[in-house]
Structure formats: structure tokens, C-alpha cells
Amino acid sequence: MSDSSGPQWIEGLVVSDQSGFFSVETADHGTIRCRLRGRLLEEASSSDIAAIGDRVAIQLLPDGSGSIEVVHERTSALSRALRTEGKRGQGEPEREQVIIANADQACFVFAARNPSPNIRMLDRFLVAGEKSGIAKLQIVINKIDLEDNSAIEAQFSVYKKIGYPVLYTSARDGLGVEALQDLLKDHITVFTGPSGVGKTSLLNRVQSGLGRVVKDVSDRRKEGQHTTRDSVLIKLDMGGHLADTPGMRSLVLWDIEPEELDGYFREIAPLVPQCKFNDCAHVDEMGCAVRAALQRGEIAQSRYSSYQALRAELEKAYAVY
């Protein structure tokens, strides 16, 4: 990803990715529909060279469209593994799908009740977030009006203890909405979570009609069965962008080997050097500092169980490939 030069190139932000066509938001020329130039298309066989959130340099074409000439270096990339067919991606059975590049923060939204929070899914999102390099990972708990506050705080206290901020909200009552607005303002934010947690209602509280816009994008995506991905950055009235991220319910961890997983659990990573064996899997090895901390109550059993499940998943995947 080299630097651009020459007056004919225009800097912009990729705000939409639809079946190989990119909408690029520019300061002086509005939003321009673009394609990747040939050289970049060849590089895209094993990974997404351009994705929403990317800063790019484009060249205007005679018909008013644009050609993406340069994709600038990313500060972060939230990715997932995507199954491929045949020998696409240099023969590998999986390729990297970049969900969003250069996000400042990720908000993982779950409900206090109806549906009950899926802790395993939350931990999966957090591992992907840690891998991505996104500066701030935020947990948002909606529907707090449906559950006792002390019970909610007790359930998520483990995350606050290990350094993840938790914001409690109620789209119905408007609780926490102002804090969420402040959080989103002037940032590029991934806002995602399982279905039924009230994301649409919460976004409508943040900005009138915002949830409807996000839902319309999702509905159009469902209709386009040939489309592998349709990702959009939605501009916020208060400043900043919100990423609508498809397919996060099927988030498969990308580029994490089984023996690397412990490095993406904040409370486990500092203990790894203290284990007796360098290749400790933290299962039943002698002198395991992680297991000792678990027995002392310094690591939550729920988090350790998530680690075990994810490690088993990665070991199975790597055994196949």
C-alpha cells in the first residue's frame, strides 16, 4: 500500500462495499462509485484489499466513476474467516473477509434479558476485537428495564474487572442513550450483536430514524442472494460513522492459531510466561499458572470455559487444514 502522488488522485473514505463496487466519500466531489484497479483486484484473491473504513486514493474516470488506485495502511481491521470454493486464495480453504477497517471502537450489544446474554458469543467478539487492533472495545447491555440491576451488574462485573467498559442502556426508557451518543460522536464505530437485543430501537434513540436506515440496509442485503457481502458506513448527524456489519452471528476467528489464543484473553495473557511449559495449553499440564489462577478465583470460570471452547474449535480447524 504505497503513498499516492499526483493532482489527479482524490483522497476518500470507503463507505459502502456492494458486490465489488465501492462508494467513496470525498471532501470536495461527493460520493463516487468506484472499482479496484486491475493490480489491486489480483491481490484481492486471498484477502479484501479494500473494505468499508479504508482510506483510499482514487482517480476520476471520464464517465464520472472512479478507480481505486491506492489503499492506505490500516490502523485496525476487524476480520473473519470466510470459506472459499475450489482453489481461490492460493489454494487455501479460507480467506480473510475484512468486516471493517480503521474503526476507532467496537460496541458489542447484548440484552440483559429476552434474549438472555450469550456469554460465549460475547467472548468470541472480544477475541476478534483484540485481534483486530481496534483501540476501544465497549460492551453495551440493552433492555436493563427487564432485569434487576444488581443481577445485571453482577453478571458483567468480570468484564469491568479485566478492563472492558460496560454501558447499561434501555431503549424503551431512554436510559444510557445520552452516554451512548457521546460514545459514538466523531468516531468510526462497529455496532453489532446478536438478533433480538434491541439494536434498532437503541439506534433510533441515538438518532431519529437511524435504526430504520440500518434495518433497510440489512433487508436489501437479504434480498441479494448473489451478494457475498454488502457493508455500509452510515454517517451520523452528530459526527462520525456507524458500521452496519453483516454476518457477525457467524463470526469465525481469522488468523489465530490455537497456541496464540491465550494472548487475546486479557486476564490470561499476563500469566502465560509463568507457566512451567512454553507450549502450555492450560488444560491439565503441571505448573500451569492459568489453572492455578482459576482455582484461586482470579479467572472467571465462564471466561475459562470460553477459552477452552474456542481453543478446541481452532485445533479442529487447523487439524483439517
As a whole number of angstroms, the distance between CA 210 and CA 237 comes to 10
Q: Which fold has domain 1-73?
A: OB fold (Dihydrolipoamide Acetyltransferase, E2P) (2.40.50)
Listed in order, the ranges of the chain carrying CATH 1.10.40.50 are: 258-320
119-140 pLDDT, tens per residue?
999 999 999 999 999 999 999 9
* Model confidence pLDDT, tens digit, residues 252-265: 899 999 999 999 99
The arithmetic mean of pLDDT across residues 18-38, rounded, is 93
3-state SS class at 264: helix
Q: What is the pTM of this model?
A: 0.88
Can you name the residues that pair with 95 across neighbouring β-strands? 82
Cell of 231: 457493508
- Give the contacts of 198 (CB within 8 A, at least 6 positions apart): 109, 111, 142, 143, 171
Alpha helices, H only, 133-198:
149-161, 177-184
Label residue 38 by pLDDT band (50, 70, 90). Answer: confident
For 71-102, write each residue's pLDDT tens digit: 999 999 999 887 655 433 344 557 888 999 99
CATH code 3.30.70.20 for 97-250? no
The CB density around residue 19, as the number of other CB atoms within 10 Å, is 10
- Domain 258-320 in CATH 3.40.50.700: no
- Residue-wise pLDDT for 139-161, tens only, equals 999 999 999 999 999 999 999 99
C-alpha cell at 110: 447484548
Q: For the chain, where do the domains classified as CATH 3.40.50.300 start and end?
A: 97-250
Residue span(s) of the chain under CATH 2.40.50.140 come to: 1-73
Q: What whole-number distance in Å separates Cα of residue 205 and Cα of residue 290?
A: 42
